[in-house]
Structure 1
Amino acid sequence: MITFGNGLVLREGARTFQFERELTCYDVQFRYLDNNEVKTFSKLRLLKRIHAGEVVPVHQNGHPIAAPNTVPVEERVYTYPTSLDVKQEGQLHFRNVLVKKAIAMGVTPGSLKRCEAFLDSLRKDGGEFLKKLFPIGLEPHAKKLPCADTLRKWMKRHRTSGGNPYAQLDLRPLVRRCKRLSALVDEHLERCIAKYYLQKHGHSVAETFRRYVQEAAQEERQTGRKIELASLSTVQRRVNDIDLYIRDVMRYGSAYARNKWRYSMKGDTSTRILERVEIDHTWLDMWVLDPVTGVPIGRPWITVAIDRYSGYILGFYISFYGPSVASAANCIRNAIFPKSDLELLVPDLPQSWTAMGVAELYVFDNGLEFHAKDFMRIMFDLRADMLFNPVRRPWLKPSIERTMMEVNRILPFHGKVYTPMKNMQPQSPKDSAAILFDDLCAGLTLWATDAFPKSIHNKNLVRPLDLWEEGRLTSPIPMFPLSFEQFDLTAGLATHRTVDGDGVFFKYLRFNSVELQDHLRSQGRRLRLEIRVNPDDLARIFVNLEAEKRWLSVDLQRPSGGYGDGLSLIQHEIIRAEAGKKLTRMNAEEELAKAHERLRCQWGEAVSRGVRVRKHGALVRLQGLSSANLHGNKRSRSAAHNEVPVASPICESHLEKVMPFKAFSLAEDYL
């Protein structure tokens, strides 16, 4: 307790000032002791600064002023507890009432006889005075009166503490006892705790104590001297004295400790819309169907951009390729573009999507796609700042993390992917899928424009839609980039392909153009160049012409016109997969193998016939050559060879049916 009167000395920083005079009932003057400067203070403001700790009372009339939660007793200052149990409350009330009654009866702490007489008077009335004085709940503490010496001690505490009632508390729980272990034993114990307990996945307290005893026994055998041991309870107390955060850091890692002991302060300090935009990916817990074939095509990924100040969703992008530079770039592009064309694609939107413009700061996590050079170049083109959230601290960007959770909550149950649980057989999301991909995009657009902006925040009772519309009226006009060429290139999938006369092949699709072939002829050889493919539209690709240092747009060459227009890569792969399954159901591979086998059999039979004919032709050419005719036949061999063979009657009857063919001679030598 202090009074604004003589002898009050206060300290502010390194300067000390003393009470000088009271001007009015609200103002007082103090004199600084270093230069005798007199300054006027308001009592109210000075008290507020004292309560805030900016000004510290030093002493008043030579008596030191204790802190609000301390008690000076016998030249020592004790910190009393902030909460008292029933026993302490009864003890405190009993002692203070007894001391005040003794003082009212004229008893002084210096007179032992008066104290004894006072206590005797209380004992003679049979405790009636105490029963009337104390409440019923405090009667057990008022049955036994103290002796005269104890009463004198209580009265001295009352006088020295300035009437502080907490000075009558039992000092035994407030005393900090020193360690009773020797320095050597204490050092050995601390070393064992650090070695076995404060380790990654360290031992328990009981196992640490067992290892501690083993090491002490081993040291006794080595040194031959007796070592004092601490008990298990002492080890447990030492472990409990370690800060919980430090204990978790040593045993489970800093990430676990930060997540367990995290706390929130004032958070983000955004003051306007588009000042800070948070972007993140998540995997949707639902299978969807292809809108053309109706085939389940898997779980899509969604990338969302949200304004931190208002909580309004600026844009999103859905794909099947996972977190990538392409998905992040397309999400930012959708957030920047006006949404008028989107409203035409999704009719009957009850609320216009007014989000547009480049933000001042984009906040990401530490994914590799956000650290890519191509993505950095996009940020440079947008003239926007980037901020990477610390690793494993998602609570520093709570808006986008909350949105990622909400987007999975609003999905329907058809095709839902559930978290695996013990002793549970969940339904197959592939079998229960019933939502088309187009319907998923339309539903999420309706959620982002109508349902989510109208959600009410439980703490500040505002809606994202209201904050966004109010911010549009007070914030600068949104800015747009002059070109999105870099977005188109960066959003594509990068790979390398060989360029030849047929152009470029990607996923069994051929891309070619006259300009590409002219560049190939100018180089005079086949080239292996980098290409960029937009996974959402296979109608064209971009080829990097390294010699000319530019990108060339090359169209898809397909006999069936319009196949690649608006065709995504996942749809093309599904079409090919379904075509393969159809051929498999038709046993196309087996039919092809049988056809090849029939063809091989046909050629084998033809070869066999040809070999037989060749052998028969050789016999015909050797006809008439024998030793009997060498001398008897007077005709020359040339004349015999020039004779025309005579057809048989059977051959003459079929001559009309024989097709004409080129004449030949059997004398010709066929190899």
Structure 2
Amino acid sequence: MQEAYIAIGTKFLLNGRAFQIVESPEKDIFLCEDLGFKHVKERFTRENILFHWQYGNLQFDVKGKNTKGEIIKSYEVNDIDALKEEEKKRAYFRYECIEPLIELEAKSLDKYIRARVDQLKEKHHHDAPSRASLYRWLKYYKDSAGDLRSLVSNYNACGPTTSTLEEEVYHIIVEKINMFTKREKYTARDIHDFVIVEVNNRNMSRDEKLKLPCEQTVRRFIKRLDGYEMEKQRNGVQKARAKHKQTNLQEKPTFPLQRVEIDHTKSDLFVVDEERRLPLGRANLTTVLDVCTVYPLGYYFGFEPASYTADMHALTHAMFPKSYVKEIYPKIKNEWLAYGKPQTLVMDQGKDFTSKHMKDALFQLGITPMYCPGRSPWYKGSVERFFRTINTQFLHKIKGTTFSNILDKADYDPEKNAVITLKKLQELFHVWLIDYYTQLPRKNRLSPAMAWQEAYETMPAPALPSKAMDWKIPLMKLGNGTIQLYGIQNNFLVYQDPILMRIRKELSLKGVNSINYKYDPTNLGSIYVFDEWESNSYVEIKCTYQMYAKGLNEYTHKLIRKMIKEKGEKVSKISLAETKVYIQSLIDDEINLTKRERIQMQRVKGEGTNKLFNEETGDTHEFNEDLESLKEDLNLYRQTTFESDSQNDEEIVALQPKLLREEGLFFKNNTEDELWGTF
């Protein structure tokens, strides 16, 4: 993935205005020329640029193949996963072919290219590329600074970009195609015959003959017609609505980020509940550490076990600038300096690290994965040592510690002495990490903060992608589905937006209906679909049942469905809501739960550092938000269903659809069983 440095010569687009850095009068101060107005300069600080980039207002210029734009260029493809599987495989194949040649430093590459061609012929036979292809692909890749998107084929863009159809023939087709919308139900072949006859009649009186269009040309014109309007004219409003309308709803690194290690551990500290001060257990800690400077890049504290979700939170925190620190913790004296994309990520062979989600994310981000041999923690000794430092210098000094050694524990009861909440633990950890650990010099070594600062005095600050979403999107989970009339189904929840029907129509012109999408496993309220036809970016598609899905994590949703299945009930919106209310009652009654059950309830609520670090605070919701309203609606539904002695049958029949429509539970012309039969 191509990256940009904040330095002289760098171009960027800020709120629609193009700038180029032309001067740096002092450190972290830049004079930028407005490229739309010659000789007009504006002053920016590094902090200003990072702020606008992180919040999506600023986009850096990129170079290489498959880019668009006049002054500030951007890639035509934002995410490789948005491509068809065939196009993705073609790009991966090209990368595989040139990978051994990328790092070569030689005066002439010809002998290496020839040798590589011979290797590929043995492996791929007739599919092996030529020498010219390898030279071309290698140039594309290097010109784009190692961005995989430069290897995407332009095969689908081949051919004429404008219509070769003669204007007079075009108007004949438009005139005759109106017959296709009549009740007589002419076929595409019939329309083609009418066009051929008309063109032939006109050719009889012309010296320069018009070219007869083929049947496929007429069919393409028909496909461009508005599906709903055409169906309405041919078969009536009811059939048109049913068919087209939506239903409602271990070499020592020499520079920072060269080698980064990540691992999980269970912290040596009992935490307590915010409200009742009940012991919850030991929170899980996922840490990302830069080996060169021993500076922590990021972490995740919470009750999510070792999983891709925990990895996602830790890596997101690690890679992005920590601009929240001064705002949330104003008493902290120093800054959390470390951020950026690792070059190599060292991991053990845990299921979460070897999962498809992790491998795909690292490939998209251009991070090289390095897996340690089984049962060999010394291959990532830096992060293991950092865990010990956290325990001995920080956690073991807090009431409620379990100690690492049972002999140190003696008769100390950590559960009885636990006093600290997860929220307070976050604050103390930030203070210890930023103002103590990173400032403390090591034996014969600089402090992590000094080492980080010194390294970037002689090299550019960590590079950033063109847009913040170029880092966020690969870290999300990838899903695939078809766009139905009711929307897209993910995790047995329905996601709907008017834009889907337009995308569905565009896909149908290509003869496909399957589409990739991204989703955040900690918030099932939305998915993200790539719109390549208008915005050329991901658009948010919300769940039709927001009261249930908003802020809900994948673990809780699966737990709810499991509980309903064990009861032998059919999954419906009512049963989902009732089970969610029941789980909340268990959370409210935590005093009667076992320690293991309390930890499970914290995972249900999604407690962890991801809530603290979420920059889009509007997307972070407590588990019990709107729960009282949900309870009232359920009670009202039960009353309208069972208390028929207080109302006559006609009133009940009238009231139930009204209530259910208001809560998004009722759909005209559809029974609940039909809508939720997919469960």
Shorter-chain-normalised TM-score: which range?
A: 0.3 to 0.5
The structure number with the bigger radius of gyration is 1
**TM-score, scaled to structure 2:** 0.39
TM-score, with structure 1 as normaliser: 0.39
Select the structure with the greater relative contact order (CA < 8 A; seq sep ≥ 6): 2
